[in-house]
Amino acid sequence: METIKQKFHAIAESKSAEIKEFIKIYGDTTIEEIKVSQLYQGMRGMTALVSEISLLDANEGIRFRGFTIPELVEKLPKAPNSTQPLPEALFYLLLVGEIPTVEETEYVSNLFKERSAIPQYVFNAIEALPVASHPMTQFVVGIMALQTESKFAAAYSKGINKKEYWDPIFEDSLDLIAKLPRLAAYIYRRKYKNNEQIEADPSLDWAANLAHMLGYEDHGFQELMRLYLTIHADHEAGNVSAHTTHLVGSALSDPYLSFAAGMNGLAGPLHGLANQEVIKWIFEMIEKIGTDEPTADQISQYVKDTLASGKVVPGYGHAVLRKTDPRFTAQQEFGKHIMPNDKLVNIVWKIYEVVPPILEATGKVKNPWPNVDAHSGALLVHYGMKEYEFYTVLFGVSRALGVLSNLCWNRILGMPLERPKSMTTDALKEIVNEK
């Protein structure tokens, strides 16, 4: 069997030739004009990046290598007695563009197992932080401590040929992904379970092993982790965590530095931290209203109070999507199948009925529909994981699959330092006046 590295190299060589030819013929073709407003509005709708691994349609949602979320759930290889996709199979797909066989998936699983050990000094670095530190802070400190392991940084300091950069970037990416479940579980057990750590079980796949090390042996929770780590992996290259990882990587910062930067972006409440904000907001609603079976009218009033106090409704809206996020729907399907009577999950579904018309009525929210973060927390709570500050770390473990695949591609394609032009308002006015 060809290794994933050999396959990636061969596919990238042919893609590289294709791109060179494409640029040669169409390099001067204009694809769209930029409006002044876009410069002030977070570059919405402005095409500025290339990523081979995923594409987001505003109405349909994300496709990974051309596959929708339901197609991935159906087609990606599964563990024995499982109905959920294996995230290591998704990683293979993102990297080489093909759905792997069961054998190829096992090969990736084993690569992750072989590379999963974490040096003690990484845990010591985390231990230097107060236990009360946010899990995302501990996560980023752990990733930064791991950076001393970087094969790319070592090779670069020795003077590696630029044509070979991709090789240690690839190795670092695999190493880092392999270590993330242990790192995440360590932080969880440290903060919430008296630092009673659970060793890895080498018989388990990447996601099930994370469930095990977190302390959740329930088959349902393992299944949830497989789904969760698959659907959160990527969302095109322009979102904050993907774009930051890509940008920092373009300076030839190694995958540890680049991914840590991306995780700092994921920790923002308008991005990945929204998953904790959703559950916090729902718990506060239950407390305020005084029931875990609120009526539509009660939820409606709570949503209006949230908006009136100048806050966003967490889990709703999106910079690109204009319909319900298929990652929300995939989780809803999971919930309907496994826990149709769970009260918290039912609140999430009721909120889904109540919120869109209210946001639509504001006249300014471009997408009133739920995103991935609106659902994930309630599923975790079902299995007993109520420590919502930890949720974004789980998102981060999954996001590594996408952003690090992208980093491998950027480096093998020899993407340059990213450096867009910025303007002052006066300079923009001059351009507009000249026109």
- Catalytic center residues: 271, 318, 373
Nearer to ligand CMX, 116 or 239 (CB): 239
Helix (H) or strand (E) holding 56: strand 54-57
| Stretch near ligand CMX under the rule CB under 6 A, chosen from 5-13, 68-76, 265-273, 382-390 | 265-273
Say if residues 173 and 405 touch (Cβ distance below 8 Å): yes
CB of 365 to ligand CMX, least distance (A): 4
CB of 330 to ligand CMX, least distance (A): 15
Say if residues 415 and 158 touch (Cβ distance below 8 Å): no
CB of 107 to ligand CMX, least distance (A): 31
Q: Which residue from 173, 181, 170 is spatially nearest to 229, judged by alpha carbons?
A: 181
Q: Is 314 in the site for ligand CMX (CB under 6 A)?
A: yes
Which positions ≥6 away from 413 have C-beta within 8 Å? 12, 15, 16, 19
Helix (H) or strand (E) holding 68: strand 67-68
What are the strands of the beta sheet with 67-68, ordered from one edge?
54-57, 61-64, 67-68
Q: Is 318 in the site for ligand CMX (CB under 6 A)?
A: yes
Span 221-240, contacts to ligand CMX by CB under 6 A: 239
Q: 116, 147, 371, 410: which one contacts ligand CMX (CB under 6 A)?
A: 371
> Would you state the structure tokens that stand for residue 169, as one six-digit string?
């970037």
Q: 48, 270, 423, 427: which one contacts ligand CMX (CB under 6 A)?
A: 270
| Stretch near ligand CMX under the rule CB under 6 A, chosen from 74-82, 112-120, 159-167, 365-373 | 365-373
Nearer to ligand CMX, 15 or 63 (CB): 63
Q: 77, 238, 265, 272: which one contacts ligand CMX (CB under 6 A)?
A: 272
| Stretch near ligand CMX under the rule CB under 6 A, chosen from 30-38, 65-73, 146-154, 358-366 | 358-366
Half-sphere exposure for 297 (CA within 13 Å, toward CB): 0
Binding residues for ligand CMX, rule CB under 6 A, total 22
Q: Is 351 in the site for ligand CMX (CB under 6 A)?
A: no
Half-sphere exposure for 243 (CA within 13 Å, toward CB): 12
CB of 9 to ligand CMX, least distance (A): 32
Tell me how far apart the alpha carbons of residues 399 and 177 are, in angstroms, rounded to a whole number. 10
Q: Is 271 in the site for ligand CMX (CB under 6 A)?
A: yes
Q: Is 312 in the site for ligand CMX (CB under 6 A)?
A: yes
Report DSSP letters for 344-375, one per residue. HHHHHHHHHHHHHHHHHHTS--S--SB-THHH
Q: Which residue's structure tokens are 């407003």?
A: 37
Q: State whether residue 151 is helix, strand or coil.
A: helix
CB of 243 to ligand CMX, least distance (A): 11
Which positions ≥6 away from 228 have C-beta within 8 Å? 207, 376, 379, 394, 398
Half-sphere exposure for 374 (CA within 13 Å, toward CB): 29
| Stretch near ligand CMX under the rule CB under 6 A, chosen from 155-163, 179-187, 366-374, 416-424 | 366-374
Q: State whether residue 55 is helix, strand or coil.
A: strand
Q: Is 367 in the site for ligand CMX (CB under 6 A)?
A: yes
Q: 77, 294, 317, 335: which one contacts ligand CMX (CB under 6 A)?
A: 317
CB of 398 to ligand CMX, least distance (A): 11
Tell me how far apart the alpha carbons of residues 363 and 373 are, in angstroms, rounded to a whole number. 23
CB of 415 to ligand CMX, least distance (A): 23
Say if residues 331 and 278 touch (Cβ distance below 8 Å): no
Span 84-123, contacts to ligand CMX by CB under 6 A: none
Q: Which residues bind ligand CMX (CB under 6 A)?
A: 239, 270-272, 274, 307, 312-319, 359, 364-367, 371-373
